[in-house]
Amino acid sequence: MRMDIRIPIGSMFAVLGLLLAGYGALGPHDIYEKSLGLNVNLGWGVVLLVFGAIMLYLGWRTPSADKSSTASH
Amino acid sequence: MPAWVCGLAFISANLGAQEVIGMGASGAKYGIATSHFYWIGAIPAMVFVGIFMMPFYYGSKARSVPEYLRFRFDEKTRALNAIAFATMTLFSSGISMYAMARLIQSLHLLDGVFARFGLPQTMIFHVSVVASAGIVLAYVFLGGLTSAIYNEVLQFFLIVAGFFPLVWLGLRNVGGWPGIVQKLPHAYTHAWEGLRSAQTNPLGVEWFGLVMGLGFVLSFGYWCTDFLVVQRAMAADSMGAARRTPLIAAIPKMLFPFLVILPGLIAISLPVQNSAKNMFGQTLSPAAIEQQKYSKGLIPIKVDESTGNPVFDHDGRPVLDYDLAIPNLLLYYFPTGLLGLGITALLASFMSGMAGNVTAFNTVFTYDIYQSYIRSGATDAHYLWVGRMTTVFGVVLSIVTAYMATRFNNIMDMLQLVFAFVNAPLFATFLLGMFWKRTTGHAAFTGLLTGTLAAALHQGMTIPAGAVPGLKGGWIAILHTYPSEMAQNFWTAIWAWSACFVITILVSLVTKPHPEKDLVGLVYSLTPKPDDSETIWYKRPAVLACAVLAMVVALNLIFR
């Protein structure tokens, strides 16, 4: 059985989102002058985390990519 | 494989670093008119592939585009195409490699390491080329088509994740689209208005050259005949999914200008950086500060790799290094953290762009050249070994083409030149082969050769403004000067296509056609039409095609 691609996509973005948001929340706060004073690490990290979670949810809900594609025909 | 996975791989295969860096560069050099590469130069062709061409590719059971040519025409046409395609993939992967090396150099990723070991900074470019070749070699050894496709889908999302915040910050900073319109000359922000004449737009081409050269010949030539992209749709799990693949891909594709072209426009809207320090806080040399006066926004003057001197063209105007538009914009806006994500996105696109080309080279060389003409009937183990040797050979040759790319200040210009030589005549052959059953093998072969020859002659007798005769043209005589490289490329493509089209028809009329029973499934009039009436309405290719075309017309009207 082939792995549903949404699971690796979801995992990668969940980890990336956690790292970015964590660094944004806990790391130095004086590095945001170039990004117009916005804590983009925190904001974008949360967006990526949510995206990763949605992908993981969709990937786990349908057991395999093969089944979901045959069901749609 | 489901259609959405194939669809994303379909556009990702074409979204290498060359596309990302090249489109940003073109955005800065030619303005919003660069979106023609998407709205005129990709979407109509993708719709055409899905509706008309996919039934032949998927239905004929050919494993590669050259193999389709063997079924439809003959061995010699296949051999010619296999060789031309193999050459083209080498150029594409070389351009990716060059982009990677430029990126490492301009982001100063290796400066510290080189300083520590006392190596000259000018070596960074060369070491980067060789190092990236090594990484790709290892990568291709490990990957197959399925893993390549999965990788491309991952990379698609990474690019979006890395570039969306860049565009968002940039637009917020310069005052949105109205801010860009206000800061830049009129022609940079209107895609159609200046196209009545070649003199009134930065692209240097009039509407006929654009629609015919880019919209018809180059675009259809690329999307309909390039094995690298067609291979992605052929991996779909049914005819319906294969036909939907390019149509699904068209939707994100038409939104990509906002992700990759806008950064180029933002980069030239910003004020020139006048400071004694670079973006890393390192002090610049007096020569580097002196060179800042030639900059346009964030785009610096091109510096010769070997001498370290700024480059000026034939007429004494500074040559700007447009390829740095996106890397410099990343450095300008992204803090530690997000910068890492942005660089990862760029490196990922480089990897998949180059690996895709090297694998396609590998497939076509081993299968369509070696197994067919050099040694047939050997064991699978032998072909596997040859495939690996081909990969090594392909990567080494890519290094050569990477150095050729250093001669261009916009890698898109070079890429379109290669497409004009290879894909443009091939598209005429396909069009006639698929829709006119009278087309013969001898005609297809002669037409292809004539088409490529016509491209070479046209390129040899014309030159873009300000260039020195040589690689960029004019190596036979200079009969005409084009305002830009891109205008020259479009016309090279038009000549190549027309020559192939006319010669193929003429030779077909005097040679003996294939018997009709051999052409079933290969020619439109002799192939049963796919029946869509069973499919739910929103999955029918015709419905998707109409929706996609309506959206693209709307985008063209908004940015006219």
Instruction: Give residue limits of the domains in chain A.
Output: 6-64
Interchain contact, B5 vs A68, CB within 8 Å? no
Q: Which tokens in the block code for residue B542?
A: 């015709």
- The residues in A 26-45 lying below 8 A from B, measured between CB atoms, are 27, 31-32, 34-36, 38, 40-41, 44
pLDDT of B381 above 50: yes
What is the pLDDT averaged over residues B56-75?
Answer: 83
pLDDT of B413 above 70: no
Of the pLDDT bands very low, low, confident and very high (cuts 50, 70, 90), residue A49 is very high
Interior angle at CA B36, CA B50 and CA B455, nearest 5 = 85
Total CB pairs under 8 A between chain A and B = 68
pLDDT, residue A69, reads 44
Strand partners, B472: none
Q: Which tokens in the block code for residue B332?
A: 């300008």
* Overall size of chain A counted in residues: 73
CA distance B175 to B181: 10
Interface contact A20, partner B, CB < 8 A = yes
CA distance B156 to B349: 8
CA distance B323 to B305: 14
Contacts 24+ apart (CB under 8 A), B193-197: B193/B560, B194/B33, B195/B33
Q: Which tokens in the block code for residue A19?
A: 């790292």
Q: For residue range B264-273, list pLDDT tens digits in order.
A: 889 888 877 7
Of the pLDDT bands very low, low, confident and very high (cuts 50, 70, 90), residue B548 is confident
pLDDT, residue B306, reads 62
Interchain contact, A16 vs B161, CB within 8 Å? yes
Q: For residue range B73-114, list pLDDT tens digits in order.
A: 888 899 988 988 888 888 888 888 887 887 787 777 777 777
Among the partner-chain residues A31, A51, A70, the one whose CB lies closest to the CB of B335 is A31
Interface contact A21, partner B, CB < 8 A = no
For helices B17-30 and B239-260, give the axis angle rounded to 10 degrees. 50
Of the pLDDT bands very low, low, confident and very high (cuts 50, 70, 90), residue B255 is confident
Among candidate residues B522, B547, B534, the one with its CA nearest the CA of residue B240:
B534
Distance of residue A17 Cα from the nearest chain B Cα, in angstroms? 10
Q: For residue range B507-539, list pLDDT tens digits in order.
A: 999 888 888 888 877 887 777 776 766 677 777
User: B141 or B72, which is more confident?
Assistant: B72
CA distance B463 to B472: 7
Q: Answer for the pair B310, B302: CB distance below 8 angstroms, yes or no.
A: yes
Among the partner-chain residues B3, B161, B335, the one whose CB lies closest to the CB of A48 is B161
pLDDT of B503 above 90: yes
Give one word for B180, left, alpha or beta, with left for phi > 0 and alpha for psi -120 to 50.
alpha
Mean of per-residue pLDDT scores for chain B: 82
Among candidate residues A43, B416, B84, B387, the one with its CA nearest the CA of residue B378:
B387
pLDDT, residue A66, reads 47
Interface contact A73, partner B, CB < 8 A = yes
Which one-letter DSSP state was computed for residue B311? -
Which one-letter DSSP state was computed for residue B538? G
Q: Which residue of B has its CA nearest to A7?
A: B154
Q: Which tokens in the block code for residue B406?
A: 């250093």
Among candidate residues B416, B457, B444, the one with its CA nearest the CA of residue B501:
B444
Interchain contact, B241 vs A65, CB within 8 Å? no
Burial class (CB in 10 A: 0-12, 13-18, 19+), A38: middle
Q: For residue range B231-241, list pLDDT tens digits in order.
A: 788 878 788 88
The 3-state DSSP class for residue B275 equals coil
How many other CB atoms sit within 10 Å of the CB of residue B449? 17
Of the pLDDT bands very low, low, confident and very high (cuts 50, 70, 90), residue B144 is low
Among the partner-chain residues B5, B240, B333, the one whose CB lies closest to the CB of A34 is B333
Q: Which residues of A touch B333 (CB under 8 A)?
A: 34-36
For CA atoms B364, B355, B222, B57, the dihedral sign is: positive
Residues B375-401 as b/e (b if ≥16 CB within 10 A, e otherwise) read eeeeeeeebeebbeebbeebbebbbeb
Of the pLDDT bands very low, low, confident and very high (cuts 50, 70, 90), residue A1 is very low
CA distance B98 to B495: 29
Query: Mutate which of B157, B158, B174 to disrupt the A interface (most A C-beta within 10 Å)?
Result: B157
pLDDT, residue A47, reads 94
User: B2 or B428, which is more confident?
Assistant: B428
pLDDT, residue B282, reads 61
Say what the ipTM of the complex is: 0.84
Interchain contact, A8 vs B150, CB within 8 Å? yes
Phi, psi at B470, each rounded to 5°: 155, -130
pLDDT of A54 above 60: yes
Domains, chain B, with CATH or none: 3-411+535-558 (1.20.1730.10)
Strand partners, B480: B462
CA distance B163 to B329: 10
Q: Answer for the pair B483, B464: CB distance below 8 angstroms, yes or no.
A: yes
What is the pLDDT averaged over residues B221-228?
Answer: 82
Lowest mean pLDDT across A27-31, B36-40, B81-85, B104-108: B104-108
Among candidate residues B553, B392, B427, B439, the one with its CA nearest the CA of residue B500:
B427
Interchain contact, A13 vs B333, CB within 8 Å? no
Give the distance between the most distant pair of CA atoms in chain A.
54
For helices B441-461 and B485-510, give the axis angle rounded to 10 degrees. 150
Strand partners, B531: none
pLDDT of B489 above 90: no
